[in-house]
């Protein structure tokens, strides 16, 4: 893997770069489309190429449950199996250790009051489906209820078999409701896991379909400045090819931006920085200014399926297609959007498809929302290259 | 509308023709893709063009419930609203009068032991949601449970507003378990409705978005030879632009073929003949030989969604993608198929998508099954033009 910074903004940490993998290059800042089980929900690989998606992220936990890394390896790895021959990342399953564990217990996502339902409503609390110990984590299968052993070594082996271009080590993502003491202990354990992952990664070189695979480290530390700085310095000192920022990002957007301000300066400048699981328009712009290169987030595609379509015509950047005001609206989702959906279909027809529960709706909505993200990232790169000011006004729409 | 016969087979009733509508031409024999609510489930209009679909059929009952003919007319009619600017048919809702009525009461489809579940299992019996009288039928809404009045006149008015190129009159489709006396009474009522529909159609000329719209008649008469012949002669004598064969087709495939042998010779040779709701490979070949020009059937698309994929590699023309034997199968659904799905994806990946319930699966499966039907119809036309022998061996695969 090669990472070449092309433009460094002088007034912020924003930068453009090219990340070269064995399966193609990614121009950054970039949005990584979520393909949990090997496909972006409702889309084909031709759709992804058509809308300009550069890179996908699969999920090790979900792919472990079905169809299993061994089978994927036998069929030539994730690239060949899925038909997406461009760059792939896989997440380690660490986020599932959080969301099925502390996330369940505390009834929250990675930002206390915002995620995962995006409406500020905390999730109902439930029983933890995870047990973490020094060796790794036991995680309950959502398919058959059995307990599966996750260790840093196993997670590397699974990802070697899947064969993504960029893989991540097992980490423990804490909850915004964990106290400082727990967050610190979990962070230190994650650091020990990071070293074990690096060792396992070196030992498994040659295993699986992708000899060019690289491993990124994950920074933890919750919303505590000293912990974040320590974690970034420590993980940043290890021999990772890039870094992901994970874990609890606090209780508000402001908390999240501060976490980035503490973390980024402690990381090596020359390596890529990925922000895990964040992807609203506003957050992306703010995070790029603080030095983030890549993002993955299920929100744009999940929102599409729930009827929420992205558009710069609205202050909130979204409309809900179910609303009665779209019943007779002959315009496209967004004026000037070049996606298949906006070229062919009216809001009125999409309203009808959504209300009727037609399968056609899901693809058309997902195509649009992902195209919106791809165009947003393109405008962000152009603005950085031109030395312009990053801000919502100039970036979105127009 | 113009219907020009191009080749008449000398050894059977098979023929090729071109049916010209205001929205384009259809080469027949042709398969009419089912787009009940204005879309083929899981596909876009670009998908339909890409796989060579020529004409769609929407459903007046379903479109009446949502979004309503008035709204569709305000938005320019079905063509503009749906984005499919090629030829459209609409079914009258007569089949819903059957399937929600006698079909429910008797627990059957239009062939007693085969449809609608295609596995020979009769449906559970239920309460009729239909009341038929001389004036028309009361049909219960599946959306809000209210009773809706269907009359020959209203059904024409709704279809004028929808604006399809070819529309059908309200008819009463009887069940294979109705006796001769009931079938005869229902047929005679359907004949009176046919005349009322013609009159209503003439009176509403100019209403709605499609001044070039034409009306086909529907032949009824169950599986009784004298009734079918009488119905075909009578309906065939009226001023319809073409004819559809509807209603109960008996208790077996043999019954169905006999119904066609009685009906077709009584109809005017120069007008198109549509067979309602039939569409297995075997039935299509048999029906073409008996003089049918067009078919509509939900089976290919519904089977796709249920995991049944069409292929000429199997004697049954189908595989079930869920079967364990496809887990590691790197081949396409069908060798030599040129559809997007077969060009890009393995049976193993489709098996994974289906088992995972991924939305992507539904489009890929539907694309393939419809492309299979389109190719089948193309080979049928070529064989007729070349004076070859119509038969399953030569037509399918190869």
> What digits encode the pLDDT tens for the residues A88-147?
999 998 888 777 888 888 877 766 544 444 344 456 678 888 889 999 999 888 888 899
Count the neighbouring beta carbons within 10 Å of the beta carbon of residue B314: 12
Q: Classify strands A147-150 and A137-140 as parallel, antiparallel or unpaired.
A: antiparallel
pLDDT at A141: 86
pLDDT at A117: 41
Q: Per the CB < 8 Å rule, is A75 touching B39?
A: no
Report the residue of A359, A362, A365, A369 to disrupt the B interface, i.e. the one with the largest count of B CBs within 10 Å.
A359
Mean of the per-residue pLDDT values of chain A: 93
Question: Using a CB-CB distance cutoff of 8 angstroms, which residues of chain A are in contact with residue B71?
Answer: 327-328, 348
Contacts of the segment A190-196: beta carbons below 8 A, 24+ positions apart: A190/A218, A190/A220, A190/A231, A191/A231, A191/A234, A191/A235, A192/A134, A193/A136, A193/A152, A193/A169, A194/A152, A194/A169, A194/A218, A194/A235, A194/A238, A194/A240, A195/A238, A196/A151, A196/A152, A196/A153
Q: Name which of A259, A72, A238, A86 is nearest A166 in CA terms.
A: A86
Q: Report angle CA A296, A302, A305 to the nearest 5 degrees.
A: 150
The terminus-to-terminus CA distance of chain A in angstroms comes to: 35
CA dihedral B153, B155, B156, B158 (to 10 degrees): 120
What are the CA-CA distances from residue A320 to residues A339, A370, B7, B144 (Å)?
A: 18, 16, 53, 23
pLDDT at A330: 98
What are the CA-CA distances from residue B236 to residues B170, B196, B268 (Å)?
A: 16, 15, 6
With bands split at pLDDT 50, 70 and 90, how would you rate the model's confidence at A358?
very high
State mean pLDDT over B59-77. Answer: 96
More confident residue, B232 or B314: B232
pLDDT at B118: 40
pLDDT at A398: 37
How many contacts, defined by CB atoms under 8 Å, are there between A and B? 107
Question: To the nearest whole angstrom, how far is the Cα of A42 from the nearest Cα of chain B?
Answer: 4
> In a 3-state reduction of DSSP, which class is residue B173?
coil
Annotated catalytic residue A296: yes
Q: Name which of A48, A5, A153 is nearest A92 in CA terms.
A: A153
Q: What is the pLDDT of residues B232-282, one digit of tens each?
A: 999 999 999 999 999 888 888 999 999 999 999 999 999 999 999 999 999
Q: Which residue segments constitute the domains of chain B, with CATH numbers given?
A: 2-93+154-297 (3.20.20.105), 311-393 (no CATH)
Question: Do residues A312 and A44 touch, judged by C-beta distance below 8 A?
Answer: no
Give the residue numbers in A contacting B (CB under 8 Å), as ranges.
Answer: 37-46, 66-67, 71, 74-75, 81-83, 305, 327-328, 330, 340, 344-346, 348-349, 352-353, 355-356, 358-360, 362-364
User: Which residue is catalytic, options B165, B283, B293, B296?
Assistant: B296
pLDDT at B115: 42
- DSSP element (H, E) containing A66: none
Percentage of residues in chain A having pLDDT higher than 70 = 94
User: Which residue is catalytic, options B9, B47, B91, B283?
Assistant: B91
Residue B357 has pLDDT above 90, yes or no: yes
Q: What is the pLDDT of residues B115-171, one digit of tens each?
A: 444 444 456 678 888 889 999 999 888 888 899 999 999 999 999 999 999 999 999
The length of chain B in residues reads 398
Picking from B45, B74, B359, the nearest residue to A359 by CB comes out as B359
pLDDT at B119: 40
Q: Per the CB < 8 Å rule, is B83 touching A46?
A: no
Give B200's strand partners.
Answer: none
ipTM score of the complex?
0.95
Distance CA B63, CA B178 (A): 29
Q: Report angle CA B92, B96, B98 to the nearest 5 degrees.
A: 110
Q: Per the CB < 8 Å rule, is A362 touching B358?
A: no
Beta strands of B128-189 (E only): which ranges?
130-132, 137-140, 147-150, 166-167
State mean pLDDT over A185-189. Answer: 97
Residue A62 has pLDDT above 70, yes or no: yes
With bands split at pLDDT 50, 70 and 90, how would you rate the model's confidence at A250?
confident
Of the ranges A118-127, A151-160, B295-304, which one carries the lowest mean pLDDT score?
A118-127
Question: Using a CB-CB distance cutoff of 8 angstroms, which residues of chain A are in contact with residue B363?
Answer: 42, 44, 359, 363
pLDDT at B395: 59
Beta strands of chain B (E only): which ranges?
2-8, 15-21, 24-28, 30-34, 56-59, 88-91, 130-132, 137-140, 147-150, 166-167, 214-219, 242-245, 273-275, 294-296, 308-310, 318-320
Picking from B37, B83, B328, the nearest residue to A358 by CB comes out as B37
Q: Per the CB < 8 Å rule, is B66 touching A330?
A: no
Distance CA B338, CA A220 (A): 49
Mean of the per-residue pLDDT values of chain B: 93
State mean pLDDT over A191-219. Answer: 98
Residue B198 has pLDDT above 50, yes or no: yes
Annotated catalytic residue B296: yes
pLDDT at A289: 96
With bands split at pLDDT 50, 70 and 90, how would you rate the model's confidence at A379?
very high
Picking from B45, B330, B359, the nearest residue to A41 by CB comes out as B359
Closest CA in chain A for residue B65: A356
pLDDT at A348: 98
Phi and psi torsions of A332, nearest 5°: -75, 170
With bands split at pLDDT 50, 70 and 90, how would you rate the model's confidence at B8?
very high
pLDDT at A188: 98
pLDDT at A127: 83
pLDDT at B247: 86
pLDDT at A391: 75
What are the CA-CA distances from residue A123 to residues A34, A98, B391 (Å)?
A: 22, 14, 60
pLDDT at A393: 60
């Amino acid at each position: 893997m090669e990472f070449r910074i092309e433009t460094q903004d002088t007034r912020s940490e924003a930068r453009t770069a090219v990340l070269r993998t064995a399966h193609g290059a990614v121009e950054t800042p970039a949005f990584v489309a979520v393909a949990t089980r090997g496909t972006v929900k409702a889309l084909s690989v031709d759709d992804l190429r058509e809308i300009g998606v550069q890179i996908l992220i699969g999920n090790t936990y979900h792919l472990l449950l079905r169809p299993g890394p061994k089978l994927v390896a036998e069929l030539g790895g994730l690239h060949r199996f899925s038909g997406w021959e461009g760059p792939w990342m896989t997440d380690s399953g660490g986020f599932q250790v959080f969301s099925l564990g502390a996330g369940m217990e505390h009834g929250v996502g990675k930002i206390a009051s915002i995620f995962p339902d995006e409406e500020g409503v905390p999730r109902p609390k439930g029983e933890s489906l995870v047990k973490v110990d020094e060796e790794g984590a036991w995680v309950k299968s959502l398919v058959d209820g059995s307990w599966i052993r996750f260790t840093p070594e196993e997670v590397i082996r699974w990802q070697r078999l899947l064969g993504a271009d960029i893989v991540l080590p097992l980490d423990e993502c804490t909850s915004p409701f964990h106290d400082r003491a727990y967050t610190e202990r979990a962070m230190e354990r994650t650091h020990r896991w990071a070293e074990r992952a690096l060792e396992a990664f070196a030992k498994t070189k040659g295993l699986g379909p992708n000899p060019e695979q690289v491993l990124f480290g994950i920074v933890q530390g919750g919303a505590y400045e000293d912990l974040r700085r320590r974690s970034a310095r420590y993980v940043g000192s290890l021999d990772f090819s890039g870094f992901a920022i994970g874990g609890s990002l606090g209780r508000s957007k402001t908390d999240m931006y501060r976490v980035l301000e503490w973390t980024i300066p402690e990381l090596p400048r020359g390596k890529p920085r990925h922000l895990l699981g964040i992807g609203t328009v506003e957050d992306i712009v703010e995070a790029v200014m603080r030095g983030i290169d890549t993002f993955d987030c299920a929100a744009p595609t999940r929102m599409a399926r729930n009827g929420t379509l992205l558009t710069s015509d609205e202050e909130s950047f979204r409309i809900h297609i179910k609303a009665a005001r779209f019943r007779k609206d002959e315009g496209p989702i967004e004026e000037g959007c070049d996606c298949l959906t906006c070229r062919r279909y009216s809001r009125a027809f999409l309203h009808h498809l959504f209300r009727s529960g037609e399968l056609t709706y899901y693809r058309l909505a997902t195509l649009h929302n992902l195209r919106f993200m791809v165009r947003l990232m393109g405008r962000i790169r152009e603005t950085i290259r031109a030395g312009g000011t990053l801000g919502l006004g100039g970036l979105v729409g127009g």
